[in-house]
Amino acid sequence: MWSVLNRFGVPEPFVDMIKALHDGMTAKVIHQSNLSAPFPITCGLKQGCVMVPTLFSLYLVAMLYEVPHNNPGVEIKYRLDGGIFKLARLSSQRNTNTINVTELQYADDNAAVAQTQAELQESVDNFHAAYTCFGLTVNKTKTKILAQPRPGENTPVTNITMDGTIIECVEHFPYLGSILSTQSTSSKETENRLQAGHTAYGRLSTRVFMNKDLTTHTKVMVYNTIIVSTLLYACETWTLYSRDLKKLEQFHQKKLRAIMKIKWNDCVSNTAVLERANITSIEAMIMKHRLRWSGHVVRMEDTSLPKKILFSELNTGDRPRGHPMLRFKDQLKKSLKEANIDPNAFEASASNRNKWRRKIKVGTDLFEEERRANLVAKRQQRAERTNQPQPLPTIQCDQCP
């Protein structure tokens, strides 16, 4: 650690001060209310110290420098001008830039990406060697391989090894709180979020939602603060299909009806439930999160990886013909239109944070009003069709003229 600080140019007196905080560290363990004798801590940093996150980040950066610069990855081309939705701008070889994304390191979690099995094996070997050089141990049981084939193709059989151990290939696995799957969709993630939402609701059911001493307003506030936040964790990055959104809306309605004690035979519409709870639909919430996050990315420095990826596409490969899978940009453009925001002026509008937040609020409120009005109109049309007198069935005889 101290040599890493010296490499980054940290003054020697400051390094000595940090070293003095860690020299002679001891710890004790509590077991069955008994405190053990102190034992020395000879590795790692002091837990609870405010400097530890920064020191660990510097250590990881130094470790990444040990990975070869030609390490395999996924090559993308990007261009930060010309409009995010104008994909033709990426066809210019002179004005586009190309980067090779080799890793997505966050704290002690890392996702190494590659395009072929041979390249992935080389990348795994390079990272394992770098971790070992810095005294870090890779947890082989938690390390997984996720192969994402082209739509319609079977998942290939992999044989990637790490230090002689074959790494398991899985259909999906959690990474930074989200579920990544071979289908390249958010369906598995929404299922995971729904399960987490049910669990969070169950834990608070007796103490909050079934508590007769609490008002309905308080229960709805707790639901919106805890349950909805759990349900929509990282929803700003989702690419949702209508079937996924329908499941989320059903969860929303079911929990709100349980909180407000609305039974199915009360014949209360979904729109009326939202109005009573003074809460918006899940679709409007996701739209607001998506637009806010996209604005944050647009305002990032031009050197940031999220911004480059948002304005990029893969350097090699073509999308399948017919009806290809939805992309994040497709949903972003749809959200902008539904919020009455010009997609062609997206970057200029999002550059000012305060104005962008006001635009999002006005746009999502307008979308929610139109959505509820459309649902009410459809409900009335169904009622009119049901109330219309139906003609009596007639039977014609084949024998009669």
pLDDT, one tens digit for every residue, the chain (401 residues): 888 888 888 899 998 998 888 888 888 899 888 899 988 888 878 878 888 888 888 989 999 989 998 999 999 999 998 889 988 888 888 889 999 999 998 888 899 999 999 999 999 999 999 999 988 889 989 999 998 887 777 888 888 999 889 999 999 989 888 999 988 889 999 999 999 999 999 999 999 999 999 999 999 999 999 999 999 999 999 999 999 999 999 999 999 999 999 998 888 999 999 999 999 999 999 999 999 999 999 999 999 999 999 999 988 888 777 778 889 999 999 999 999 999 999 999 999 999 999 999 999 999 999 999 999 998 888 888 877 777 766 777 777 66
C-alpha 243/C-alpha 246 separation (Å) is 5
C-alpha 309/C-alpha 276 separation (Å) is 41
C-alpha 58/C-alpha 8 separation (Å) is 8
Contact present, 246 and 303 (Cβ < 8 Å): no
pTM recorded for the entire structure: 0.86
Distances (CA, A) of 167 to 119, 120, 162: 15, 12, 7
Assigned domain for 395 exists: no
* Pair 192, 258 in one domain: yes
Assigned domain for 370 exists: yes
| Residue 401: per-residue pLDDT | 60
* Pair 31, 84 in one domain: no
Assigned domain for 400 exists: no
Expressed as residue numbers, the domain containing 118 is 73-181
* Pair 292, 382 in one domain: yes
Q: How many C-beta neighbours within 10 Å does residue 194 have? A: 16
C-alpha 254/C-alpha 266 separation (Å) is 14
Domain end marker among 155, 181, 207: 181
* Pair 142, 242 in one domain: no
* Pair 167, 103 in one domain: yes
Tokens linked to 23: 């020299």
Q: How many domains, the chain?
A: 4
Assigned domain for 364 exists: yes
* Pair 177, 191 in one domain: no
* Pair 142, 51 in one domain: no
* Pair 39, 84 in one domain: no
* Pair 80, 177 in one domain: yes
Domain end marker among 181, 196, 221: 181
C-alpha 213/C-alpha 356 separation (Å) is 41
Domain end marker among 181, 197, 232: 181
Assigned domain for 391 exists: no
* Pair 92, 50 in one domain: no
Assigned domain for 307 exists: yes
